[in-house]
């Protein structure tokens, strides 16, 4: 199963794309209703996740232009996510890091998740056709 995970995800790419779009929409809803801190790093990362989700939904997501746009958006999202994540590591090294009461909305943890999601979407978009079983 793990060896064929990319192929499996590509077979269900519509679900993957819809999940990415749902993550984007839900997190933007939390931001716009002011239930979370208005973080420019988070806004950039969630927007990139949504854009990559939309690209993977396109019937021509393997076209060179789609891959080119995905690479641009992805690199931007990865740089922003890495900057935010590194700021957390700097706080850990300085001994100033705290999880807080609501540890599940810690920027360091969420930026790490965003990096994984963005990279996974990029790898799926740039993957060749799924192999036949």
Reported as a single tens digit per residue, the pLDDT across 4-51 is 888 888 889 999 999 999 999 999 999 999 988 888 999 999 999 999
The overall average pLDDT reported for the chain is: 90
Q: What local confidence, expressed as pLDDT, does residue 108 receive?
A: 87
Residue 85 pLDDT greater than 70, yes or no: yes
Question: What's residue 131's pLDDT?
Answer: 56
Residue 75 has pLDDT above 90, yes or no: yes
The reported pTM is 0.88
> Please, is 18 exposed, middle or buried when counting C-beta atoms within 10 Å of its C-beta (0-12, 13-18, 19+)?
middle
Residue 133 has pLDDT above 50, yes or no: no
What distance in Å separates the CA atoms of residue 87 and residue 73, rounded to the nearest whole number? 21
Neighbours of 58 (CB within 10 A): 14
pLDDT of residue 130: 56
CA distance 118 to 113: 9
């Amino acid at each position: 199963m793990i060896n064929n995970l990319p192929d499996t995800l590509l077979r269900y790419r519509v679900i993957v794309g819809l999940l990415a779009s749902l993550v984007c929409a839900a997190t933007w809803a939390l931001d716009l209703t002011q239930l979370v801190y208005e973080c420019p790093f988070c806004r950039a990362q969630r927007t990139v996740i949504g854009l990559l989700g939309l690209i993977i939904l396109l019937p021509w997501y393997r076209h060179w232009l789609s891959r080119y746009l995905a690479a641009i958006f992805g690199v931007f999202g990865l740089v922003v996510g890495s900057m935010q994540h590194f700021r957390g590591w700097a706080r850990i090294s300085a001994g100033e890091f705290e999880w807080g009461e609501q540890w599940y909305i810690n920027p360091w943890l969420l930026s790490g998740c965003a990096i994984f999601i963005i990279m996974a979407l990029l790898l799926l978009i740039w993957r060749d056709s799924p192999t036949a079983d």
